[in-house]
Structure 1
Amino acid sequence: MMKKQNFSYIFLFCVLINLFFPVCLSTRTSTHNNNWAVIVCSSRFWFNYRHVANALSFYHTVKRLGIPDSNIILMLADDWACNARNCFPGKIFNNKDHNLNLYGTNVEIDYRGYEVNVENFLRLLTGRHEPDVPRNKRLLTDSGSNILVYLTGHGGNEFLKFQDSEEVSSKDIADAFEQMYQKKRYNEILFIIETCQANTLFSKFYSPNIAAIGCSELGENSYSHHFDSSIGVQVIDSFTYFSLNFLNNIKPGDSHTTLEKYFNSMTPKQIRSQPRLEFFQFQRNPRDVLVSDFFGSIHEVVSHPINNYTFKNDNDNDNDNDNDNGNANINEKENVNNNDNFQLKNQFQHTEKTQPNMEQSNQFQPRVEDEAIELSDNYFRIGMIILIFLIFFFSIIEKILT
């Protein structure tokens, strides 16, 4: 009887090791080899100022974390910077303190005005362009691409409006993603939507390896964060505000911050609606998905002095070109960032425009190493299965002999 119990304990121990030990061995990192971002503001008209601020804030975030302009598709449906009602011509702000101009010479808009429509958006995702469409308007992804898709605007139950004249449905987006999957145009997709009833926009997804984050459930609204009396409109939405408040603390190449931690940083009390994070047929453990898998780049970004540009505090004088004044501006920015209101840190300050090269960064584990670890996991599992079989076999033999 004791021998039988011993065999039972050994068998249980082997099963537990087989289930959990390989998970501990493997890093379960993404196997992508390039990153892209599609950032869309689908709204028009001056009172939707906050939507373009949302889009431009995410645009600058992904650039700071390593995705170059060549891999970012930016779609803005209206030109708020040049609107006659804008008391800060040529400038867009996402905070009433006006510490960062989001709109400047460093912003590359790929689709603007009436080019931002449902047809062009779906053609962009699926790659079904007319032959004369230039490269900067194409999403040149492949089976190794991780893609961040961020949408902001007005919407409702399973639809998002484009310029108050047409709508894209959740089924349209789901079918576009399925075409992308069939044509091997992505490795993984992170879909983020900021609109009313946002979570219904990914209710029809059925393609694998898609993660989706929305700010509001069915019947809930998306709310702005605060009003700027000098501009006369709300300047940012709550979901984007608290998203950026978290993302602003992430450094390029961060290999620890997970998507789950990013999502949990936004509470329903803060954004006044119920956000949701959902994974669709993900091929790896969702808890291991990193923010940098989508908001960063696995290619080393090398700076080339093309155009010098700097985000400045709008209250600064234009004559602050000497080093002492430059240091004073940086200190002032750092002090502002300690306020309760969200400020994009001086990590957004660039002195050079960046261009990518194809050398992989040391900040990420090489893809070959990940494949070797996964292969060793498989060998380990096979070995444990054989061991369990042998234990059963010898236990039966022992029982027959005794």
Structure 2
Amino acid sequence: MTDDVMISLENVSKRYRGQKAPAVENVSMTIRRGEIVVLVGPSGCGKTTTMKMINRLIEPSSGRICVDGADVTSLDGTELRRRIGYVIQQGGLFPHMSVATNVGMVPKMLGWSRRRIDERVDELLHLVGLEPGQYRNRLPRQLSGGQQQRVGVARALAADPPVMLMDEPFGATDPLTRDRLQNEFLRLQEKLQKTIVFVTHDFDEAIKMGTRIAVLGERSRIRQFDTPERLLAEPADKTVGQFIGAGAALKQLNLRRVDAVEWNEAELMHRDESPTAVLRRLDESGAWAVLTVDSERRPLRWVGPRDLEPGQTSLDGVGIPVAVVEPRATLQDALDAMLGAGCGASVVVDDDGRYRGVLDIESLMRAIRDMREVERDRDRGMAEAPPRLPRQSDGSRDSASVRTLESR
């Protein structure tokens, strides 16, 4: 195992007594340090079984699994699981324990001091966006679904494990909360650089979250293991193409983030301004609408000439509610927000919800044209390139084929 490989599976299978076919059959892959590898495939294909064998929640029947160079079967199962963070739907919190007790459970098992545990709990709650003074003593039932999931992530991070396993962690939340949790987790990953195995049935989520994606068929057989860009551009076979589904070009919007494209500026006005002042600003600027903000520069509504009536004295409740996105959101998120709000612009906000800029439909179309141009350049380069070599399950080139090609 090379230094940059954190997890390796070598011909791993799982057979259950009384079943003719194995649930997982001869799976091999390598996962590098600091990357998010997403296992995606139809229900019942063995995604979760494969992942659970890594921390031996399910014991493999044959094959070899190594984590950071150590064969997992040579380690005590309980000790192994304490070294690997694990996140499931709805956080998997113990309902009778407080948030602080849930988060501090593994450090307590590892013998940490009370003071060290308390400091770590507060640090992690801050990290996942929950104020410790407000949330540490609450019970899980006193939290929203999104808050429970944040606590689940904090608990998985408590002992600072190098590896995290995530089993459809955001699947039980509503679409808006799921987008926010995905963006928040990607922000954390930029800072923490954990090695993550992430199971989902949602291909759009796989594109957004994954450094690489393993598309699995029956018995977890790998049909393609590649980057999101390559999967969308070059499905390995018809089955992979069908799983990706229609609209592969549109799905490429999940490959670029809002902070990677140019934003525009809105005409900002405080919500306490008069309608007359709004009309004067619109006339001077030629803008289609002004964006009202509160005292913290948090966006409220778009207000245009048609929203103002003669004799109106206040802007309260006037105009169209804004669609907001964070810089870490994808262009697909931004487009969804625009369509949901019924206007051709999304307002970009920071972690505190303050205004940072505007991504409009024209900017989005420019980004799409840029991506298409890059794709055309790549296609032209591929047409002129030498024959491609077959890929192995870890995405590397077959060494025998390399030698054959080099000898020509």
Structures share a fold, TM > 0.5?
no
Instruction: Return the structure number with greater relative CO, CA threshold 8 A, min gap 6.
Output: 1
TM-score (norm 1): 0.27
TM-score (norm 2): 0.27
